[in-house]
Structure 1
Amino acid sequence: MISLIENLDSFTYNIKEFFIKVLNVKIFNCFNSKNVNSNIICLSSGGGQIYDSKFSISFLNNNYKNKKIIGICLGHQILSYFFGCKMKISKNILHGKTSKMFFYKKNVFQNFIPLYSYFCRYNSITILINNNFSIIMKNFDNEVMFLEHKFYPIYGIQFHPESINSNFGKRLIKNVLFFLKKKYN
């Protein structure tokens, strides 16, 4: 089971349906830490700012060492902020547009995905990573689009893999979940 921490965004519905229909995974929507009992947590996208996501930050404070966490869009930004990364406005602001991205280095997440792929973005923020993270994917503006924490099973995805416009989004999430279950069980 995966717990989905909502950051009050309409895309959360798409993420939830994506997990249920495509990946055949049970989802539990949660709004307070008493309900977060899954081993894998997804911090959803959101329409607000990082600072508006008090529950997500509180959850991370109490659980980042003992949960497997995936952050999507705002969830990615929340994870990065929590671990001390800086942020800036993206070179190209894309809302509902695809962006060509590439795997920064060969890794397990690339299975069945071409080196260069198009994924859908709904954001104007990019992360300036620090020593806590490794880069998995970048776009051609040299901005981090997918990262992993060096010491914990924590992953941040800036784009929307659940979007119909993300060519290999479903495969990417399958690869991430397979890796989390295999390596960290």
Structure 2
Amino acid sequence: MRVTVIDNFDSFVYNLVQYIGELGGEPTVFMNNASIQKVLKSRPDKVVISPGPKTPRDAGISVEVVRRLGKRTPTLGVCLGHQVVGYAFGAKIVPAKRLMHGKVSSIKHNGDELFKDMPNPFKATRYHSLAVDRTTLPKCLKAIAETVDGDRELMGIKHAHHEIYGVQFHPESILTKHGKTIVKNFLEM
């Protein structure tokens, strides 16, 4: 299975790439400043949009990849990639309710197939100062995970008609319990 990974210049990217390889995928990494034609020519079976600094507007080809490939290719956005998914379909990106850099939170989910065989809630590591504004989610995006604490920060979204997902937390972080299961579930879709 060919998995295209869009690298948004983040140090966690190769943890995701390693998980993908260990789980049977054949990852190919493109920096977010690559040409969209190169990415399209790679004809991926799956797409992963990586974490990274800045905002979706600054994420190079990431938004275009979601818009052009997501409707026919299962796509997973992680952290900035999650924000890219929201932004690509019209959600607003806003300052997070709390800055979370290297902090572990309890995340509850709705039982979606992305979270198959996962406890509910589970512990996940967060590294972000921006978030997808839940109140601006378009009808095509559904909330599938959030923090358990009083902030109820949006932690997972899914497209209503396509296999396009975003998770705000880092499944590839060593402190995220069951993170590899999330990557496995995505690859098995």
Please say whether Structure 1 and Structure 2 have the same fold, judged by a TM-score greater than 0.5. Answer: yes
Query: Which amino acid counterpart does residue 126 of structure 2 have in structure 1?
Result: R
Report the equivalent of 1:135: 143
Q: Is the 8 A contact 2:25 2:187 kept in 1?
A: no
Query: Larger deviation: 12-21 or 154-163?
Result: 12-21
Q: CA deviation at 1:176?
A: 2.3
Is 1:29 aligned with 2:37?
no
Paired AA for residue 15 in structure 1:
L
Unaligned runs of 5+ in 2: none
Q: Could you tell me how far 1:139 is from its partner in structure 2?
A: 0.4
The match for 2:163 among 150, 153, 164 is: 153
What TM-score does the superposition give when structure 2 sets the normalisation length? Answer: 0.87
1:176 and 2:186 matched: yes
Q: In terms of mean alpha carbon deviation, does 29-38 or 159-168 score higher? A: 29-38
**1:84-114 CA distance string (max 9 Å, x none):** 00122222211111111111x2333333211
**Equivalent-residue separation in structure 1 for 2:92 and 2:161 (angstroms):** 19
Q: How big is each residue's C-alpha offset from its partner over 1:57-76, in whole Å with a ceiling of 9 and x where there is no partner? A: 23234323222111011111
Let me know the Cα RMSD of the aligned residues.
1.5
Q: Which residue of 2 aligns with 1:118?
A: 123
Extract unaligned runs of 5+ from structure 1.
Answer: 181-185
1:142 deviation in Å? 1.1
* Identity over aligned pairs, percent: 30
TM-score normalised over the length of structure 1: 0.88
Aligned to 1:78: 84
Q: Do the aligned partners of 2:7 and 2:51 also contact (CA within 8 Å) in 1?
A: yes
The whole-number CA distance in structure 1 between the counterparts of 2:111 and 2:13 is 30
